[in-house]
Amino acid sequence: MRNFTVTLILVLLTATFCFAENSIEKYYGKNLLRNNPNVEHYRENALGIPVHVEGDLAVMERNDDKVGTVMQFFEANRGAYKMESPTEELIVKKTEEDRLGMTHIRFDQHHKGVRVLGGEVLAHFKSSGELRTINGIYEAYIDLDVTPTLTNQSAVEIAHDELLGSFGETNPGEAELVVFPWMGTHYLCWRLFLLSDTPMGRWEYFIDATNGEVVYKANRIMDTEAIGTGTGVMGETRDHIDTDFDGTDYSMTDNTRQAANNPHGHDGQMAFNRWIQTSLATTTLPGDVAVDDDNIWDDPDIQAPAVDAHVYTALIYDWWLAELGRNSYDDAGSYMNVSVNYSTEGNNNAYWNGSRIVIWSWGSEYGLDYQSLAGCPDVIAHEWAHAITDLESNLVYQSESGALNESFSDMMGAAFEFSIPEYDTPDWKLAENFNTSLIPMRHMDTPHEGYVWTEYQIHGADPDYYGTSDVYWVDVVGCIPQSDNDYCGVHTNSGVGNKWFYLLSDGGFHHGVTVDGIGVQNAIKIAYRANCYYWSSGTNYHQAALATLTAADDLDPTHEWRERVLQAWHAVGVFPSTSLVEFTYPGGIPTTVTPGAETTFDVTVTATGAGSIVSGTGKVYASVEGGSFIEATLTETATDQYEVVLPPTPCEGYVSFYISVDESSNGTFYNPDPSVPLHALAITGTVVVFEDDFETDKGWTINGTAVAGMWERGVPANWDRGDPSADYDGSGQCFLTDNDITQNNSDVDDGWT
């Protein structure tokens, strides 16, 4: 009975959405982007709002006014985005011209003058001036009064008092009034950050501006993981440490990256009053700048972490400038400060705290002898990459965007390590220097490989394939991000991005897909460009994939890199452009097959963008009763039409299957995603035990605690919030909620049904 009730609710919700879509279309207009022949790549979210549109997008040439061109695009496509007024809702946040001559404009979304958190739209113009790509997240269907009943100061006090009771003394910051999309609802909130040194915290709070409730809070310190490293650090001699001499002592202050200095062959670009500096933190932050009287830094317990942190940070600056054209983490020549040996919070950790990198002290646990994380060049680069992400895409540190945040830092760490083979042996292991046994935190090439030391599991396995078909994937659907679930698997699900980056760099064969690598330094340029210009704070893996395809095209007009990027995403189960190919089944998809015999059915495959289906590339992949998937070529009966043959299946068994075809511009497309194949049972017939179309009352009873909105049978009220104008087929009543013509409402309030 419980399962049936769930099915009932889902069916009714689906019917409601269909009617709502029709009324919404009448108000905003049609979505003209889905089948626009000028659109080459298109993807939308679950609500039907575009998240990536690429092609010849300019309505008319307006090279002298790029913002005006973008506004014209959105005005012409209000129906696609369900947007009321582009000029009032989209406010320019940042305009930037890159080294390729392309212009990128970031817009913040506003609702009635209040910023919508996570609502970010990005527009990209080719160097020749054409509008090429629109991507990002537009929050549609916001129905919210933006007049707060709670003052700014009251919100700060509520957050301060709440955190004080559980975390410790804080230093409250200023609050900003925002629209906060959270778990399917839009809230008017005061957003603020609370900083504390003991214990270390950078807490983000969202206080409901109408009732003072804490809608959500999270500690935004981004760390590597609760692990550590050692002493010395690895015992290597560093024969070039840039320091400063004041006439008495030497300090770990590096001025050699300032403009007009050229000891490192790149003519640094930091301002004359900026530097790289390393401090010894001990119990407080930032601590004191490391000093020595003879410029020989040979104390293995105190100075060794400072040596490595200082040297690696300087090398990272050089590498960024040479390979990526980036001047420090903010691309404006800012200070790069590091604090090491910080002991107040515990041992074996590292993080970027919004202004500097902090490396903790170290100590033995889990039967391992640890060493300072400063001895890991990939960890130092990992944390500095968090600084880049903070200032560019600002990927939210939770769920898929958080996993992408972590993965980008791992990518940067690996690429940096490969760039300095004379300092540390390059590999695809992350932070293997953190203990004397050289056990790494993560394997980017083999994420499934975890480590166990004695009876303790130091680090479990990570997924190397997107979605729940990979047993190590943390399901983010319905997950509420919080510290005890690693904010919905940000460190675990990063394995998918890590595997993608490894395959793109080195190539390989994974999940039936062959990837031709382009080299790690080329791969990091693509990921870096996507992070800087195409990702936004809420970007998920599929949106990230589309962005890397665009970034690859920017860097390589031959499109060869783009094809490799696509291969690598397909290999890890991310299919970024599935909307470019449509699969339809004229006779339906079989859910049952005749036992012991082959089963045939038809599929029509059409390209909806500028590309075309490659003749003869149709394939079916079938697995009988959980066995290996066997590939077979489809019979092409006409242009874009195929006959599918499923293998014989024993009685009461089952066959699982999915289909693929190649599209001329974008490679292989699958239906459905191979991680969630279709299934058919081998049976001789079915018996319907019970069915109900809900047009007549068959005696269902409803109970629960909902204040208003219990499921009931009735005639839909057809109000503005999207209620249907009739039941499913228009012949009578249906089950619905809160169907009150006087309340203009249609939801279940405060309880369960």
CA 672 to CA 660: how far, in whole Å?
A: 9
Question: Using alpha carbons only, how large is the chain's radius of gyration in Å?
Answer: 28
Whose structure tokens read 């965007």? Answer: 401
CA 581 to CA 610: how far, in whole Å?
A: 11
Q: Would the CA dihedral through 446, 448, 451, 457 be positive or negative?
A: positive
236: annotated active-site residue: no
491: annotated active-site residue: yes
User: What phi and psi values does residue 12 have, to the nearest 5 degrees?
Assistant: -65, -40
Whose structure tokens read 């709670």? Answer: 150
Whose structure tokens read 């470019």? Answer: 580
Question: Nearest Cα to 511, choosing from 549, 470, 547, 460?
Answer: 470
CA 557 to CA 564: how far, in whole Å?
A: 13
**How many CB atoms within 10 Å of residue 140?**
18
- Burial of 176 from C-beta contacts in 10 A (0-12 / 13-18 / 19+): middle
Beta carbons within 8 Å of 572's beta carbon, 6+ residues apart: 464, 465, 466, 496, 499, 500, 503, 510, 511
In the set 491, 510, 542, 570, the catalytic residue is 491
Is the omega angle on the peptide bond into residue 286 within 30 degrees of 0, that is, cis? Answer: yes
CA 484 to CA 39: how far, in whole Å?
A: 43
- Burial of 688 from C-beta contacts in 10 A (0-12 / 13-18 / 19+): exposed
CA 599 to CA 647: how far, in whole Å?
A: 7
Q: Would the CA dihedral through 62, 64, 70, 72 be positive or negative?
A: negative
Question: Nearest Cα to 708, choosing from 735, 737, 741?
Answer: 737
Say how many Å lie between the first and final Cα of the chain, rounded: 14
Q: How many residues are given for the chain?
A: 753
**Can you say whether residue 22 is alpha, beta or left, with left for phi > 0 and alpha for psi between -120 and 50 degrees?**
alpha
Supply 267's token pair. Answer: 């003519």
User: What are the helix and strand counts (H, E) for the chain?
Assistant: 13, 39
Say whether 58 sits in a helix, a strand or coil.
Answer: coil
**Can you say whether residue 8 is alpha, beta or left, with left for phi > 0 and alpha for psi between -120 and 50 degrees?**
alpha
Say whether 630 sits in a helix, a strand or coil.
Answer: strand
CA 28 to CA 31: how far, in whole Å?
A: 9
Is the omega angle on the peptide bond into residue 181 within 30 degrees of 0, that is, cis? Answer: no
CA 482 to CA 161: how far, in whole Å?
A: 20
CA 342 to CA 348: how far, in whole Å?
A: 10
In the set 365, 383, 432, 563, the catalytic residue is 383
Question: Nearest Cα to 60, choosing from 44, 73, 50?
Answer: 73
**What residue type is 725 in one-letter code?**
S
**What residue type is 325 in one-letter code?**
G
Strand ranges (E), 20-78:
39-44, 50-55
Are 498 and 444 contacting, i.e. CB atoms less than 8 angstroms apart?
yes
Q: How far is CA 493 from the centre of its chain?
A: 10
Are 481 and 218 contacting, i.e. CB atoms less than 8 angstroms apart?
yes
Helix (H) or strand (E) run with residue 515 in it: strand 513-515
HSE toward the beta carbon, residue 269, CA cutoff 13 A: 16
- Catalytic amino acids? 383, 491
